[in-house]
Structure 1
């Protein structure tokens, strides 16, 4: 499910001014910026101290100076504010590969599939707001299923950081004012004259009469907030990132046409990477539809590469995730993460080179998901379930596997209970029943005694497991253990478990 963060910077222009004049103004001093509205000067923005004194954007500057004698006034810089907002959106790429400016005072962060890397959505919002707060930038943020819902909650919820539960956009919007739908002031005033003050009241109304009375924009914004219509986000692309752009004379609709475009994009990007001596590790393919919405395909690679055929093959395999809508008018391929990659040297006499597993790893990760492709490395622990960890598929393990301790290919987590028939204390099971099926043991090897790690958990101080590798009459091999040594009750209850399959 899509998850989008809306970041609101309510005093962005004056916060920028305070950073530029660091130390020149007292923190509590009221400050406003001025702009020309026709023939008069008006307040364009106000800091928190000025807002607390009743000054608001749009107020005539003469009236503001009369209300607050000695008011600090600076020239508004809307172009500089917009450029700084774009720079801040690029800075937010640390949280997600898809961010965008939301002028004049907001940002979008598409946190889909990224929040867990920062400890969850709540932790991500806290980290974001704390970093901005230390920089002297006031901010509020919310995360929801849709950009419209996140925008509304960020600006109208009571808490500075709000996580709207998946599927909870309608409930979160119900009690918010209609202004939370990003409607023009005239439309908001018209709705309020008709007694429609809350978003929940609009949700309960029929769409057709609502559109006839107040315009199609009301219905569009409502549908965007509720997720019934797409909310476009145009992602920011760092200017220094290697990229290649294609604009099409006619919209592309078919997978075949998009596949040809991917081939051209990959060739152009890899040519630029070769000139720069770089290889791509993480890439984004951005399709721009004719209605200005975007579809983004993100791809990670096991090792840096600039092979256009390999890159195009991986991206083409993900085309099933792309909805072209009414057609794709442009496409951009961006190397979000690039690393130095020296030129390869061809062998002079046709010697066999060491096999490169990176292309295979990339294809498997594209097909099954990056989290399902890994290798297992040993960990210094006698307890089997603690004796291994997952590492990236091409990472070298720090230590080798211990010799003389055969282990099953597959460990069951957690171990599954079985009913076993055995003689005590050191005899293997004669038969055991697992998942309703009885297995008669033909051969057995053991026991291998494993003691609990008392320095980890107090409950393991006297724990004992006796492991047996057994083979049934059909040749299948299992790894069983008995909990307890058969002598002391504190060592275990003598229950049997299946822990692995050979």
Structure 2
């Protein structure tokens, strides 16, 4: 199923200027606008949030804006610079998220994330990571993912925040959106409104022939693109300096064995380029351009830089089943989207030491064949159990923090503690029984309490917080990790309710 991301940057020109000015930028609460020329008129081309709150809008005359807001901060618009920066942002997204990315000027990106979202932990995590990274550098962003780019574009601008739309929900989600969600010209939108059309559902329910006769083919074409009845191609941005191999075919190909053979030939060409540059590939993008202008994309991630021809060819061949050749493929490109110097001896691994066997090949197969988000668990300096672990890449070197062996921890730690019903004498006696998920278990043995205090530096609510943990064993021999929220005496330390936080074995 096709999955396309639309990234919306509502304040892109303003955010660029603020990043360029750095500390000299005006404060966020001061109205800021960019001014350009429309023939002989000077008009606003972009308005910051504070300026919009005062009623200023793009397209307004600069003299009128000055009259409405006397203390307005005015900067010169730079549309060429904005477009170039958007292209660079598309190249950045190409490296980090998916093999097919394109700038969608003047305020967005189009990203074909089909088959690539698992590398970020799933679609929700991909959108969250995209918005968080841009927000950290001062760029306001909203993202949505849908089966078509038209639907994703509409949701990113007019739908809920961080929308993830499944294929069967396109009609329900798009129906109530305004006409501006169809990417039509403002004059055409105004003409449709004069005729009584307000939402996409109003247009969708009308017969197509009278609509086309009155307003031309554009409303129908945009509707078909949004609802998935007409394919909308995305022309990907290409990084010129990235190592790349290409094959163009005189006749379209489509047989699986033919795709396998040319995958091997592309790897041969690319590996030779990587070897000359002294590089290894960390990520491969395999693009198959079909005769109907569609692109079938495969992204392969690698645990460490590699240019081994056999391994790379095997990883690509494992993904051939995800390629739909359609009426045939006329061009193939294989790009090393991410590379690093290859400067260690073969067989070494950072997993356990310099003499450990190299397991990076196994990791690559598991991640790419099973579309799994593979990671290791590393310790974090924190007494609170759910904060004492973090995810790290599979081959990341061990950090300075080691595991604390003073008290054993359960093999399975729940994502969040679950409440249980129990009976125990206060303050330090373990429970005699507990009921969890509808099953009552009698406790035969128990050890504890292990007292854990809240991290008062994080919030005032944890200033007095206390947890008393007990390791308990039931009649069946299963061992659990229970805790009481509170010390059993002082109400400030917690409500004295019981939870289960993990299971041993």
Query: Normalised by the size of structure 2, how large is the TM-score?
Result: 0.67
1:174 aligned residue (179, 188, 197):
179
SS class of match (1:3): strand
5 Å matches for 1:430-469? 430-469=432-471
SS class of match (1:229): coil
Answer yes or no: is the 8 Å Cα contact 1:262–1:312 preserved in 2: yes
Specify the alignment match of 1:67 in structure 2: none
Answer yes or no: is the 8 Å Cα contact 1:90–1:238 preserved in 2: no
Specify the alignment match of 1:117 in structure 2: 129
Alpha-carbon distance in structure 2 between the residues aligned to 1:379 and 1:416: 23
Specify the alignment match of 2:376 in structure 1: 375
Give the C-alpha shift of residue 340 in structure 1. 0.6
Specify the alignment match of 2:407 in structure 1: 405
5 Å matches for 1:229-248? 229-248=230-249
SS class of match (1:239): coil
Specify the alignment match of 2:325 in structure 1: 324
Alpha-carbon distance in structure 1 between the residues aligned to 2:127 and 2:301: 17
**Number of aligned pairs?**
420
Could you say if the C-alpha distance between residues 379 and 442 of structure 1 is closer, same or farther in structure 2, counting changes exceeding 3 Å?
same
Alpha-carbon distance in structure 2 between the residues aligned to 1:163 and 1:462: 36
1:138-193 per-position Cα deviation (integer Å, ceiling 9, x unaligned) = xxx99775445678999xx9x9x998955444544536799549xxx9xx8xx99x
Give the C-alpha shift of residue 260 in structure 1. 3.3
Alpha-carbon distance in structure 2 between the residues aligned to 1:268 and 1:252: 19
Structure 1 portions without partners, runs of 5+: 12-26, 33-42, 54-80, 130-140
Answer yes or no: is the 8 Å Cα contact 2:127–2:143 preserved in 1: no
Alpha-carbon distance in structure 2 between the residues aligned to 1:480 and 1:164: 36
SS class of match (1:429): coil
Answer yes or no: is the 8 Å Cα contact 1:251–1:327 preserved in 2: yes
Deviates more, 1:396-405 or 1:92-101: 92-101
1:16-67 per-position Cα deviation (integer Å, ceiling 9, x unaligned) = xxxxxxxxxxx979597xxxxxxxxxx9xx98599989xxxxxxxxxxxxxx
5 Å matches for 1:174-323? 174=179, 179-180=184-185, 200=200, 203-207=204-208, 219-323=220-324
Structure 2 portions without partners, runs of 5+: 14-33, 46-58, 62-79, 114-122, 349-353
Query: Normalised by the size of structure 1, how large is the TM-score?
Result: 0.68
Give the C-alpha shift of residue 477 in structure 1. 1.4
Alpha-carbon distance in structure 1 between the residues aligned to 2:420 and 2:36: 74
Specify the alignment match of 1:95 in structure 2: 93
Answer yes or no: is the 8 Å Cα contact 1:148–1:225 preserved in 2: yes
5 Å matches for 1:1-150? 1-5=3-7, 89-96=87-94, 97=98, 98-100=100-102, 108-110=109-111, 112=113, 114-119=126-131, 123=135, 127=139, 145=146, 146-148=148-150
Give the C-alpha shift of residue 118 in structure 1. 3.5
SS class of match (1:275): helix
Answer yes or no: is the 8 Å Cα contact 1:175–1:198 preserved in 2: no
Give the C-alpha shift of residue 301 in structure 1. 2.0
RMSD: 4.6
